[in-house]
Amino acid sequence: MKKVAPKNKSPKKKAPAKPKSRSKSKKNGRRLKRWKELGWLRKIIRFLWVSILTLWLLSLALVILYKWVNPVVTPLMTQRFFQQMFQPHRPINFEHESVPIDSISHYMIDCVVASEDGLFLYHKGFDVKQLKISYRENHQGRRMRGGSTISMQTAKNAFLPHRRSMVRKAAEAYYTQLIEWMWGKRRIMEVYLNIIEFGDGIYGVEAASQHYFGHSAKTLTRHEAAQLAVTLPSPLKENPANPTAHFRRRTSSIVARSSKYGKINLDAKPKDLNPKYRDQEDIIDFLKWYREQEKIEKEKEEAKAKKKK
């Protein structure tokens, strides 16, 4: 039998692959065409939506980053630096050193809780009772007392410039809630003590301790810690190196109060806390209450207007 030689099958020629750059440029061209076809109102809405989403993602990323990394520079530090540059009477000064919370005397933690936020371990970021008092005092035309908690001060100092506006207040509330959810009390206290302002250009308890007392924050005594705590409401006015009679009285008061509170346990679980203060209202409760108060005030104004008529 004759062997038949196999026929040479010519391989099928594959169509040349389209360059990727061309396909990408076509996609981009289509997107640009779609964008041009949109009306101006839709363009504005889309731009705003993308901007809000981007800002939200950036804020979230920053909060996540600061959960493990201490802020090197904050908006307040930048603000103060430019103020020093453009005000001739103020020398340019920048002292800041971050340390772990284990390298800070527990007296410092006890004193800032006693001075700034007695319910720090109990609330969910907001002292709702104090916010309600501030609201009433504002409506009565009286000077408002500070209702800012340590969590709120941390959010304000870490993420926002110091300005008085409703937008900044809303942003402060947003960041406060985020760090309460994501950081926990121990981390909030650690960041707070490392960025808070203790004088003009002096940030963080380590820098303050070295500046005023010549030693590290780990070796602060209760009295020294109380002196630093007194400066916090007005760090540009109060000075532990030059204490006034009022400053000394405040120091003694904080020493006594912090001794009464005892050592603050930042890792305390809810069951370990005093049941008397355990159930604190949150920001949602305050907003509901605020809405009711605004409704009552509106009804009062309407009743007054009717009487005048």
| Chain segment 123-163, per-residue pLDDT in tens | 888 888 888 888 787 777 665 555 789 999 999 999 998 87
**Cα of 146 vs its chain's centroid, Å:** 17
> Is 20 a domain residue?
no
Give 280-289 pLDDT, tens digit per residue. Answer: 888 888 888 8
Same domain, 45 and 90: no
Domain boundary among 44, 66, 88: 66
**Percent of the chain predicted with pLDDT > 90:** 44
Regarding whether 112 and 40 lie in a shared domain, the answer is no
205: exposed, middle or buried (Cβ count in 10 Å: 0-12, 13-18, 19+): buried
Is residue 230 included in any domain, yes or no? yes
Whether 140 and 240 share a structural domain: yes
Q: Which of 104-113, 149-158, 215-224, 289-298 is least confident?
A: 289-298
Identify whether residues 45 and 83 lie together within a single domain. Answer: no
**What pLDDT, in 10s, does the model give residues 32-70?**
667 666 677 777 887 788 888 888 899 899 999 999 999
Is 242 a member of any domain?
yes
Q: Are residues 188 and 237 in the same domain?
A: yes
- pTM comes to 0.81
What does the mean pLDDT of the chain come to? 84
Mean pLDDT, residues 111-125 taken together:
91
d(CA 231, CA 241): 11
Residue 214's pLDDT is what? 93
Question: Which pLDDT belongs to residue 222?
Answer: 95
Co-location of 62 and 105 in the same domain: no
Under a CB-based contact definition with an 8 Å cutoff, are residues 161 and 122 in contact?
Answer: no
Give residue 28's pLDDT band: very low, low, confident or very high (50, 70, 90). low
Does residue 84 belong to any structural domain of this protein? yes
Q: Does residue 186 lie within any of the structural domains?
A: yes
Q: By residue range, what is the domain housing residue 88?
A: 74-300
pLDDT attached to residue 33: 65
Per-residue pLDDT at 130: 85
Residue 4 lies in a domain: no
Is the pLDDT higher at 299 or at 308?
299
Same domain, 53 and 116: no
Of the candidates 191, 207, 192, the one whose C-alpha atom is nearest the C-alpha of residue 66 is 191
- Whether 127 and 60 share a structural domain: no
Q: Are residues 43 and 113 in the same domain?
A: no
Chain segment 161-195, per-residue pLDDT in tens: 887 778 888 899 999 999 999 999 999 999 999 99
262: domain CATH number is 1.10.3810.10
What is the number of structural domains in the chain?
2
The pLDDT score that the predictor gives to residue 27 is 62
The token duo for 193 is 């003590």
Contact 43, 51 (CB under 8 A): no
